[in-house]
Amino acid sequence: MPAYVGQNKWDLLVEVQSEEIVRNLKPDIDSIAQLPVRGVIVTSQSDNSEYDFVSRFFSPAQGLDEDQVTGSAHCCLGPYWKSKLDKSIFIAYQASERGGLLKVEVTENTVKLSGHAVTIFEGT
């Protein structure tokens, strides 16, 4: 049973009870693709002291069953966890197959993200 389900302009946000649930989730990608949203963010507070929360992001209707590390999802997750954990700087882990760490800083009007990135293509 989810601890929270909500929606922003683009995505559904689902908080579950544990990091283990996030990591082991086997979503029904075909059903998610039928939802009238860009994607589904699944998150929980971390069981690991190395980071504050974990997440995964599924967006099959956009041609991506699971995104490896999603900046836009963390722009939603930062303010959500700020209200729950009463802090404004987080270390987040996206628990996709590749996985990725992000620093998320929530200010009054912005969410700042930082981490390691790799350019996979360039164009004009």
pTM: 0.89
Tokens of 27: 């979503």
Cα-only R_g, the chain: 14
% residues pLDDT > 90 (the chain): 74
pLDDT in tens, 80-114: 999 999 999 999 999 998 989 999 999 999 999 88
Residue 7 has pLDDT above 80, yes or no: yes
Pairing of strands 100-106, 53-59: unpaired
Reference 71, options 49, 101, 97; nearest CA is 101
Between the alpha carbon of residue 105 and those of residues 69, 76, 98, 121, the distances in Å are 16, 12, 23, 27
Residues in CB range of 113: below 8 A, 6 or more apart: 71, 74, 75, 102, 103, 104, 105
Domains and CATH numbers, the chain: 4-114 (3.10.310.10)
**Helices and strands in the chain, H and E counts:** 3, 8
